[in-house]
Amino acid sequence: MFVYEAARECELSTGPRFLRIGFIGAGKAGVCFGRYLVESAAKITPEEIEATQGAPFTVSGYLSRNPASASAAALATGKPAFSEYSALAAASDLILVTTPDDRIADVWEILRPQLRSGLFVGHMSGSFSSEVFAGAAEAGVHAGSMHPLASFASREADLRVLRAACFTIEGDAVFLEMAGALLTKLGNSFAPVAAREKALYHAAGATVSNLVVAIAQMGAELFRSCGLPEDFAEHCWRPLFLENAKNIASLGPVASLTGPVERGDIGVIREHLAVLRGAPEEVREAYRSLSLIAAEIARERHPGRDDSELVALLQEADQ
C-alpha cells in the first residue's frame, strides 16, 4: 500500500495521496521510466484506488545539467522542468538520479543539503549500489537503487521494453519496501540484490546484452569475409539470430543449444578452427572460449557423453 511518511503530507485537492517521483538526469533511462510511470498512473482508476486503498504515483518533473534536456524530458512526459535542486526536492517524495554513473556522487553532494528527513533517494545504475549516497542515513534519507534489466535505444523507446522488464532493488529496508510496492503496482517482477553483488550482477547483464552485440558483429564480419554480396551478408544472419534468441528466452540455454558442439561434431569444429587461423586473435579466442562454454551446456544436455576429445581440441587450439 502506498502510504509513506514522506508522502503523507502530499495530498491533491481531489483527495488521493501521491508518491511524487522526481528525476535528476534526462537521458534514455530516466525519460523512458518517467514515461512508463505516467502511462501506468493514467491507467489507475479512482474506483481502483478506493477499492485497494492504494494511492497512485506521479512524476513531479525533471532537472538536468542541460536545461534543453530537462525541457525535452518534461515535454515527453507532460511534467515540469526544474532548474533548482531545492525546487525539485520540495516537489518530490522520491528522487531518482538517472545521470551517467560517474556523476551520481557529484549530484548527491549537491542534492544532499536540499533533502528533508524521510525523503527517498535512489538511482537506476546497474553497477553502483546505494553506498554512493554517503551519509544518507545520518540525514534521515532512505537510499537505494532500482535497476531495470532492459535496454533503451532512445528516449522514445517502445515502453513494451519496460512493461516486460525485471528489476533488481537494493538499499535500506524502508527504500526496499517502497520500491517493491511501486514495482508491484506497476506489475513488474523484481528481486533484491545485495550491494556487494552489484558489480557481478552488472557484469551478468552486460554479458547477455552488450556482449551479445559484439558476438553479432563478429558473426556479421565473418559472413562478409566469405565473399558473400555485401547486402546479403548484412541481413542473412538476422532471422537465425532472432529465432535463436526467442528459443533461449522461451526454452532456456540448455534446450536451445544446437550446432556442432551440441552434436559433438569434432571434424566440423576442427575445420572451423583451421579457417579461423587467418582471423584476428580476439575472434579466434572468442570462438574457442565460447565453444568451451557451449561444451559445458552440451554436457548438461547429454549427460554421460564423452566430450574429452572435443574439449582437448578447443583447449589446445591456440597453444
What pLDDT shows up at residue 119? 96
User: Residue 173 belongs to what domain range?
Assistant: 5-197
> Alpha carbon of 134 to those of 53, 137, 139: distances in Å?
35, 8, 10
- 302's CB contacts (< 8 A; 6+ apart) are 262, 264
Q: Are residues 117 and 151 in the same domain?
A: yes
Q: Does a structural domain hold residue 268?
A: yes
Residues 56 and 193 in one domain: yes
Choosing from 197, 222, 242, the residue where a domain stops is: 197
**Stretches in the chain below the pLDDT threshold 70:** 1-17, 51-55, 317-319
Does residue 285 form part of some domain? yes
- Per-residue pLDDT tens for 231-249? 999 999 999 999 999 999 9
pLDDT at 70: 95
Q: What's residue 56's pLDDT? A: 75
Tell me whether residue 83 is exposed, middle or buried, using C-beta atoms within 10 angstroms of its C-beta: 0 to 12, 13 to 18, 19 or more: exposed
Amino acid of residue 82: F
Q: Is residue 202 part of a domain?
A: no
Q: Are 97 and 112 in contact (CB under 8 A)?
A: no
Residue 75 lies in a domain: yes
Structural domain ending residue among the three candidates 197, 221, 244: 197
- pLDDT of 152 reads 87
Q: What is the pLDDT of residue 53?
A: 58
pLDDT for the residue 277: 92
Q: What is the pLDDT of residue 15?
A: 35
Q: Give yes or no for a contact between 219 and 202, defined as CB atoms under 8 angstroms apart.
A: no
CATH number, position 177: 3.40.50.720
Contacts from 253-259 at CB under 8 Å and sequence distance 24+? 253/297, 254/297, 254/300, 254/301, 255/301, 257/294, 257/297, 257/298, 257/301, 259/294
pLDDT at 52: 57
pLDDT of residue 42: 87
d(CA 183, CA 33): 12
User: Structural domain tally of the chain?
Assistant: 2
* Nine cell digits for residue 125: 545504475
Give the integer Cα–Cα distance in Å for 80 and 224: 49
Helix (H, G, I), strand (E, B) or coil at 154: coil
In this structure, the answer to whether residues 100 and 212 fall within a common structural domain is: no
Q: Are residues 188 and 213 located together in one domain of the fold?
A: no
171 in the same domain as 73: yes
